[in-house]
Every structure is written in structure tokens, then in C-alpha cells.
Structure 1
Amino acid sequence: MKKYAYIGALGFLAVITTEFGIIGILPQVAAHYHISIDKAGYLLGAFALVIALTGPFMTLLASGFDRKKVMLAAIFIFLITGIVSSFSPPFGVLMFVRILPAFLQPVYIATALSVAVSKGNKQNENELMSIVFSGVAIAMVTTVPFATYIASISSWEYSFMIQAVISIIALLAIYWLLPPMPVNEKKSYGSQLQILTKPTFIVSTAMNFFMVSAWFSTYSYFAEYLTKAKEMNSTMVSYMLFVFGIIGVLANWTAGKMLNKNITFTTAFFLSGTIIVPILLHFSGANTFATIAVIALWGFLYSPSFLNASTYMISSAPHAMEFANSLATSFGNLGVTVGTTIGGWIIVSKGIQLTPWITVVFGTLAFTMMLLRHHLERKAPLHHNPIAPCKLEGTTPI
């Protein structure tokens, strides 16, 4: 039943609007609080770091609760964040309310994925997961660029008001359209923790970390990069976010179909953007039309990254999908933190033009991890088939 997947996607839209909506307004926030752009980047990096450190534990703790109540509680906290942030509180308070929903973000993602696949066909689980993750791409094409545009013509506080409105809509949809979903059987912690001893899972986790670090070393400063390196104004940046996002919707749908056929190839195909996009950004120079074309490609190859990372990690531990998914979320967000931090340091110390090359370095490391996993799987061909799609049988994420 795809209805549950679309409800999960709506909540994901609220989550991503709150987490990444800050990207388009970082320059305005930095100017308002009289801080450097890398300090403003902490609003994104700290959010991701909390997820990285607490994600698996919070997900395991919430695993025994009614899934509908868990989703409602998570989105409610995101709503509070949007409301408080819209009043432009002192920077310390803004940082605190930004961090608060991070504790429940991975819980929401894991629960929404669980709800989506619980009523679906086993052969279409990756496609149902892609519907939930489409909330990321939809946010990139609607709420994130719209919030950036509104901030560019009025004030950055309005961006947070939009985030609050989206959270209210998601909250009402979950409350009215999702039935109570109590957990009938809770898996033991020990059975899930065993995956930490699997070399292929450890390598897959490292691939996830490096891939997300690669993308976010530049993407976290999307507005700053286009403003300084490509000489675009705030309104033009909002248009670029729109282009980025609308291509991303198509990319998530495409990735969902591709993952059902071959997880390894799909992951490598989209990961190639961490090498291709920075090179094209360099050679596009000041040519606006060339830059727009590169941004469109950037949006296509970047947008399914979280979906690909989760599926790639889960495929190495299909019988502990709950814990694998929570670790995918945590290490992905650790990648957000590291990428954002290093990208900010490069901007301050070396210049904004060099940040895309950090993407190349991390992307190369991610490809290295994929090759290492392939080598490990060839040594144990009876235990895993890296060519076939992951069927994820016997359990669903919580």
C-alpha cells in the first residue's frame, strides 16, 4: 500500500525542510548575528552531529512504541523548532532549538520506512523506500527554494515560518490518515548488534560516511558558493535550488527503480557525481548557462544519496534492517558534520572556489570503500551476491 509511503514522505518533507532549509539562508543568518559563514554552518553541522551520536540508540529505544505516536512526537518537535527559530532568538537559543529535533530525526526516518514497507510487496520494498525518501527531493524543489526566495525578498525569519507550516501539515496528515500501529514483536538488541562484526557492513558504513561528506563539503555552502564563486544574487540562488530540487525528484524515482535491479551499480552510478560535478563546476567558470546545466546534473546525482547509502548498507545486513538503517542515518549525518566543517574551514582559510575539490577527495575514498567491499564479497561468494538486488526479507526497519 503506497499510501503509507506517501504519508512518510510528507513527514520527511517537514524534516528536510527544517534540517536543510538553513542552507539557503546561511549568509543572511551569519550577517544578522555578525558571525563568519563557517560559524553559521554549525547550525547544520551540530544538527547532523547529534543525529550521528544518538541515532542508533534513540531508534532502539523507540522501537517498542506505537509507530504512529513516534512519528507524531518527532514532527511535533520539528514544529516547535520552526516556531521558536522564526522569532530570531539569541544565537545560543537558535542553536539549541535547532539541535532539539535532531534526537528524533533518525527515529522518524526509520519508523516512516517501517510503516511504508509493512503493508507493501516484498519485491517492491526498495521502491517504497524511495517514495519515502522522495520527501528529500520534493523539499529541494518546493519548500527549501521557496523559503530561500522568501528570505531573499523579506527576512530570513520567514524561512523558519515556512518550516513550521510544513510541520503542521505533516502532523495533521499523520494524525488523521495513519492508523495506530503498535509493535507486536520487538527484536533483541543483541541480534542486531552482531552486524558490527561483519567486515562488509563496516566497509559499507565507511562508504556512506565518505559519500555524504563528499556531497556536503560543498552543498552545505550552496548559497555561499553560488554567490561568491559564480556571482549570483540571492534570488538567482533560490532559482538554482529549484532547478536542483526538481531534477532531484526525477532522480529519486529513477534510483528507486534502479535499486530494485542492482544496488551496487546504482550506488556507484550516482556516486560518480562526486568526481564529475566538481570538475564541471570548475570548467563552467562564469558561464551562467553552463553553471545551470551543471547544477541540474548535480541535483540528479546528489538527490538519491541518502536512499542509496541506506539501501547499500542494509544490503550487507538484511536480517538486521532496523539497526542497519539507524546506523546509515547516523553515519550519513556524521558525514554531513564532517563535510560541513571541512568545507567551512576551506572557505575561511583557502577560499570558496576550492570547496568542490574536497568533494573529489571524499568521493574517491567512497569509491575505494566500494571496491574493498567487492573484494570482501568475492572472498565469500556463498554468503552474499553483490549483483542481485537486496530483498530485505524477514524484517522491516523500526
Structure 2
Amino acid sequence: MKKSLFALLLGGLGIGTTEFVMMGLLPDIANNLDVSIPVAGYLISAYALGVVIGAPLLVILAGGYPPKKILITLTIMFTVFNGLSSLAPGYISLFFLRLLSGLPHGAFFGVGAVVASRLADKGKEAQAVSIMFAGLTIANLMGVPLGTFLGHNYSWRYSFLLIAAIGLITLLCLQLWMPKLENNNKTNIAEQLTFFKRLDAWLIISITAIGTGGLFCWISYIAPLLTNVSGFSADQVPFILSWAGLGMLVGNLMGGWLADRYSPAKTSFALLLCMVASLILVSFFSQYKSIALITTFITGALSFSLAAPIQMLMIQTARGAEMFAAAVSQACFNIGNALGAFLGGLPLMAGYSYTSPEWVGVFMALIGAASAAMLIRGTQKSIVTQPQA
């Protein structure tokens, strides 16, 4: 692995840890700050809101700066805001610090995806992007369990200090190993925003914001699914989540390989159909522990196998505004996160079982697959109708 790609992986590790560790720290934070768990849950929403705001905004503001300088600046923001989170005196201050911590998330992955594709060997661009996203999967495998352990046994504030430390290491690695690439973005803000005038751009947004929301229907309610339906104890859930994290790591690398071998659009279509099948299996067979473990690994793998193909779709679609489009895809992933959690919770509020969110996820994944099919058809049609040389 190239050292420059390893630096991007470390950035993904830190971002993934700060995003997902909150799920395990909510009881500790709620108890310490004297708020209810649902109110503490708004801290997760604050981070997601920061991602949606910061992803396109920071990339636009970065303008024509070199990618290395942008990545270092975003990592400084990430490190400072997470470090300050450990010192937050109360709930309100922590809420705004979580929002600020989310600002560099999408922009880092947006710029990082473009940089990774430029650093990659020819024909292995998607695999290079998947290496950066591997940081997110390693976060679920190692960073989140460690941060949760610190929060439970010592203080949730130590969890944010751990994240800030990862940020400092990332800064050092970016400074030492990231080459000074030129910024190929020659378009102004108005030209970059024309990206939204294209049908294929909205199809990719649909794949990301709706299609991937199917997986968030599953993962948002995985803990009660495992305890109330599968019959696992609450103490076993963290280990099963680590098992899902291992699946995410494998799936992420698999998605990058498939996107390079076939095409990002065809890979996304196939993986979304696999997601539909996986969610149906989860719904029907989660009451059996052994099968539940298998479907947890498979569904976890599918959850991150889409990351690299979708990011490459955005980069290929938005020539001249690659960083902006890649950052938009990160905002859309977080919209999918919010939609999946909200829509998946509706049948639970109506009194249905903990397998019911999976059926909402099936519907969302089918919409994403239909969008991918339309994108493939549109691409093939444009090739056929191109004038011969």
C-alpha cells in the first residue's frame, strides 16, 4: 500500500470512529450531562447535519487550493473540534461541537477520493478509493469498540481525546507522505453547480440517498433485532457488531475490485439487488442465531461495498467538478442514514416487530437499483447515439 493512501486510511479511521462511537456512548453522555437518551440522540443528528452542510460548502470554499493543503486544513478542523468536544461543559456546547466536527467529514472524503484515484495505478482507481474507505470499516472493527470501552469504564471525554489523537497522527502522515498534487479544478462555483442540472447526477443521488438508506434501516435497529428476535444477550451485541465491522472491511475492498473489473454503475446495480436479497433473509431468518450471524456479516459487507463504486460514479460524472461531486455523495450518504433510521422506525412505532424495518429497506434498495438501471441504460444509449468518427 502506498504511504499516501495509508494517510487517507487513517483519516477515514478517525472520521469513522467519531461518527459511529456516539451510538455506544449515548447512555454515558446522557447520564453525565443529565439529559434523556433520546435527547442525547440529537447529538448524532447534529453530526449528520454538519456533514450535509460542510460537504459541498467547504469544497466550494477551498476553491483552487492544492489538495494536500485542503486535506491538512480539514484534518486540523476535525482534530480541534473533537478535542474541544472532550472539554464541553454541557449539552448545548457539545451539540454545536458535534455539528462543527461533522463539517470536514464529507469534504475530506470528497477530496480524498479524487486524490486516491489520481494516486492509483491505471485501472485500479476504485480499489484505491476503497483503501481510504477501509478506514471507516476499521473504525467499526477497532476504533468504535475501543472508544466505547473508554466511555463506559472511564469517561466519554476520553473517547474524544482518542479521536483527536488519531487526527494528530493523520496530520503528521499527510504532511510527510502526501505528494503535492496540482488542483485540476478549473471551474468556478456557478459551473460546479451545473452538476445538478444533469439527469445522471440525480440518478446517482437517488442511488446514494435512497438506495443506501435501505441498509441504514437495518443497522439503525440492529441491537434490538439481535436481542429481541435472535435471542442474543446485550453483552454479546458489541462482539456481533465487530463481526459486522469485519464484514464491512471485506465488502469495502470487494466493492472497489468489482467497480474496477466491471463498471461502477453495473456494480452498484448488482450490489443493491444483493442488498434486497440480504434484507429479506434478515427478516425471515433472524430468529435463528447461526443464520443471524451469517446474515449480519453479509449485510455488513454489502453496506460498505457500495462506497467506492458510488464515489467513482460521482467522479466520472462530474468532470471538472470532481471534488464537489464526491463531497455531495458524502452528504447523500448521510441523508440516506437519516432517511433509513426515520422510515425504518415508522413500522416499529406502529407496533410491528423488529424485523419490519428490513422491508422498508427492501423498498428503498429497489428504488436505488431502479435508478442504477436507468443510469446504465442512459449511458449505453449515449454510446450508441454518438456519431462515428
Q: Tell me the TM-score range normalised by the shorter chain.
A: 0.7 to 0.9
Bigger CA drift: 17-26 or 347-356? 347-356
Provide closer, same or farther for how the CA distance between residues 345 and 256 of structure 1 changes in structure 2, counting only shifts above 3 A.
same
How far the C-alpha of 1:210 sits from its partner, in A, is: 0.6
Provide closer, same or farther for how the CA distance between residues 214 and 80 of structure 1 changes in structure 2, counting only shifts above 3 A.
same
Equivalent-residue separation in structure 1 for 2:223 and 2:348 (angstroms)? 13
How far the C-alpha of 1:10 sits from its partner, in A, is: 0.9
Provide closer, same or farther for how the CA distance between residues 74 and 373 of structure 1 changes in structure 2, counting only shifts above 3 A.
same
Counterpart residue type for residue 102 of structure 1 = G
1:258-337 aligned within 5 A:
258-262=258-262, 263-318=264-319, 320-337=321-338
| Structure 2 counterpart SS, 1:64 | coil
**Superposed CA RMSD:** 2.9
1:150-165 aligned within 5 A:
150-153=150-153, 155-165=155-165
1:201-220 aligned within 5 A:
201-220=201-220
Equivalent-residue separation in structure 2 for 1:330 and 1:136 (angstroms)? 16
Q: Is the 8 Å Cα contact of residues 185 and 321 (structure 2) preserved in structure 1? A: no
Equivalent-residue separation in structure 2 for 1:183 and 1:376 (angstroms)? 30
Consecutive unaligned residues of structure 1, counting only runs of 5 or more, are 385-398
| Structure 2 counterpart SS, 1:113 | helix
Equivalent-residue separation in structure 1 for 2:48 and 2:212 (angstroms)? 11
Bigger CA drift: 197-206 or 73-82? 73-82
How far the C-alpha of 1:217 sits from its partner, in A, is: 2.7
| Structure 2 counterpart SS, 1:186 | coil
1:208-247 aligned within 5 A:
208-247=208-247
| Structure 1 counterpart SS, 2:24 | helix
Q: Who is 2:370 aligned against?
A: 368
Bigger CA drift: 293-302 or 365-374? 365-374
Q: What is the number of residues matched between the two proteins?
A: 383
**Can you list the C-alpha shifts for 1:106-159, whole angstroms capped at 9, x where unaligned?**
221122223323343342222211111211122121112332344455554443
How far the C-alpha of 1:250 sits from its partner, in A, is: 1.9
Provide closer, same or farther for how the CA distance between residues 130 and 220 of structure 1 changes in structure 2, counting only shifts above 3 A.
same
Q: Who is 1:50 aligned against?
A: 50
| Structure 2 counterpart SS, 1:274 | helix
Bigger CA drift: 195-204 or 269-278? 269-278
1:357 aligns to 2:359 (yes or no): yes
Equivalent-residue separation in structure 2 for 1:164 and 1:234 (angstroms)? 29
1:172-211 aligned within 5 A:
172-181=172-181, 183=183, 186-211=186-211
Provide closer, same or farther for how the CA distance between residues 188 and 337 of structure 1 changes in structure 2, counting only shifts above 3 A.
same
**Can you list the C-alpha shifts for 1:266-324, whole angstroms capped at 9, x where unaligned?**
21232234323332222334433222111111111112232222223334344542332
Equivalent-residue separation in structure 1 for 2:137 and 2:12 (angstroms)? 10
1:57-76 aligned within 5 A:
57-76=57-76
Equivalent-residue separation in structure 2 for 1:199 and 1:319 (angstroms)? 17
Q: Who is 1:393 aligned against?
A: none
Equivalent-residue separation in structure 1 for 2:126 and 2:323 (angstroms)? 15
Equivalent-residue separation in structure 2 for 1:359 and 1:224 (angstroms)? 16
Provide closer, same or farther for how the CA distance between residues 313 and 71 of structure 1 changes in structure 2, counting only shifts above 3 A.
closer
Equivalent-residue separation in structure 2 for 1:168 and 1:233 (angstroms)? 37
Counterpart residue type for residue 138 of structure 2 = I
How far the C-alpha of 1:371 sits from its partner, in A, is: 2.5
Q: Who is 1:143 aligned against?
A: 143
Q: Is the 8 Å Cα contact of residues 152 and 234 (structure 1) preserved in structure 2? A: no
Consecutive unaligned residues of structure 2, counting only runs of 5 or more, are none
**Can you list the C-alpha shifts for 1:66-108, whole angstroms capped at 9, x where unaligned?**
4333222322332234334345742222211111022222221
Q: Is the 8 Å Cα contact of residues 218 and 357 (structure 2) preserved in structure 1? A: yes
Q: Is the 8 Å Cα contact of residues 148 and 238 (structure 1) preserved in structure 2? A: no
**Can you list the C-alpha shifts for 1:163-210, whole angstroms capped at 9, x where unaligned?**
233223222322333355564763333443333222122212111111
